[in-house]
Amino acid sequence: MSDEAGLWELRLGIHATPDQAEEIRERIAALLCPDPDHAPPCPVPWSLSLVALSGGDEDEDGDEGEAAGAYPELIEQARIERG
């Protein structure tokens, strides 16, 4: 493995309310930059976004939207846990 830095993307799917998702986003940001008032630049440059995926519940056509395609195991887990 090379020691050369490059661009990486870490994906995390969660089944949560908007408030829960925002709280998790804030916690991840705090992990990446525990001192937001530090002098720039960050030792490891980073960017974080929060995107709501459509779906998870079947629509009138029986489709579950983009969430089912991106995170089928998560959709199934949420369905089982809801009962």
**Nearest by Cα to 26 from 52, 8, 48, 43:** 48
Structural domain containing residue 83: 53-83
- Contact between 42 and 31 under an 8 Å Cβ cutoff? The reply is no
pTM across the whole model: 0.73
Whether residue 2 lies inside any domain: the answer is: no
Residues 59 and 45 reside in one and the same domain: no
Q: Would residue 1 count as lying in a domain?
A: no
Q: What is the mean pLDDT of residues 13-32?
A: 95
Q: Quick one: pLDDT at residue 64?
A: 57
Contacts with 20 (C-beta within 8 Å, 6 or more apart), sequence order:
14
Is residue 17 domain-resident?
yes
Do residues 57 and 32 both lie within one domain? no
Q: Is the dihedral of CA 11, 16, 18, 20 positive or negative?
A: negative
Q: What is the reported pLDDT for 62?
A: 47
Q: How many domains does the chain have?
A: 2
CA 4 to chain centroid? 26
- On whether residue 63 sits in a domain, the answer given is yes
